[in-house]
Structure 1
């Protein structure tokens, strides 16, 4: 199956069901919350959204977009804290303690042959913001070392070539704000 930026969410969720529930993702990170993940998880845990954020979540920034994810329980190696850790909702005995309401990214990203492309799809849909010039610049750097999904080339996201050139040359610093020379 060829995954593109236009692949419907329902199709991605279907592919994501191929997870073998090994817990590898959960032991070395956590998924990102989007859309209605926050209220669903809060209701499941019988917490307010603010309680959920303060007790169990941390911010993560990617492509100049900040979202929440379940806090990581990081181990230490000597004096240094490791950059990865297990999801706060992962239990070695029982697996995911919020499985019925786990975030979309946890439901779709897996170790299957499509796992890497599904992660790219998620990033394009929820982290890369075509309205934010800095997001586009950061994504352009990412593309120097990674192949895009079909529909995910920078020129496909910003169709106005002149605007794209102004963004990449830092003439446009913030959302539609032009820097005067």
Structure 2
């Protein structure tokens, strides 16, 4: 298992400054060795290996382990990395073991679950269906309006959104909207048309 020999000054810079370029170099140097170590230690598939490596590096970042290693380098950096990977694998094994225990404990429920029958001919009450679609439409409209507002604010066209709000939410006429915005009636109509086109009218 060969790990790169990285200078301590670089690790110290990475731990203290958090420069993106240093992080990229650190990941480039250690990602593959960590993945290989995880593969050997946990007998993992390639996709599982990368998941373990991702969790390991996330733990290194969140727990500020590089800074702690710089302050007290009682072992080589590769020892630290291997220890983190082993901890991730150990935690994963405990989770898998717990899941297996639950499955074994509740195995008697499986026939009952498998026997559940879905009646495809069953009808849904109209009021329930109406409520479902009402909630769905509300969420969809809110998402569209939020995106539209964000787009208009980014392009300094807040008035466009206020026109749309007036048209839809307050049922204001174009002339009333123009008065509220302090713009000419023709401009208000043009803004309303742009909103109409934006929404795919």
Could you tell me the TM-score, scaled by structure 2's length? 0.21
Name the structure with the higher helix share. 2
TM-score normalised to structure 1 length: 0.23
Structure showing greater relative contact order (alpha-carbon pairs closer than 8 Å, 6 or more residues apart)? 1
Larger radius of gyration: 2
